[in-house]
Structure 1
Amino acid sequence: MILEAVMLQVKEGMENDYEDAFRGASEIISSMKGYISHELQRCMEVKGKYILLVHWETLE
Structure 2
Amino acid sequence: MILELADIRIQPGQQAAFDEAIERGVRTVIAKAKGFQGFKVNKGVESPERYILQIFWETLENHTVDFRQSPAFADWRAIVGPFFAQPPQVEHFTLVAKS
Q: Same fold (TM over 0.5)?
A: yes
Aligned to 1:36: 37
2:27 counterpart of 1:11: no
* Alpha-carbon distance, 1:23 to partner: 2.4
Aligned to 2:52: 51
* Alpha-carbon distance, 1:47 to partner: 2.2
SS at match of 1:37: strand
Give the partner amino acid of 2:23: R
Aligned to 1:22: 22
SS at match of 1:51: strand
Aligned length: 60
Decide which structure has the larger Cα Rg and report it.
Answer: 2
Q: Distance in 2 between matches of 1:58 and 1:16?
A: 32
Q: Mind listing any 5+ residue stretches in structure 2 that lack a counterpart? A: 62-99
Which structure: greater helix fraction? 2
Q: Mind listing any 5+ residue stretches in structure 1 that lack a counterpart? A: none
TM-score (norm 2): 0.58
Aligned to 2:67: none
Greater than 2 Å deviation, 4+ residue runs: none
Which structure: greater strand fraction? 1
Give the partner amino acid of 2:8: L
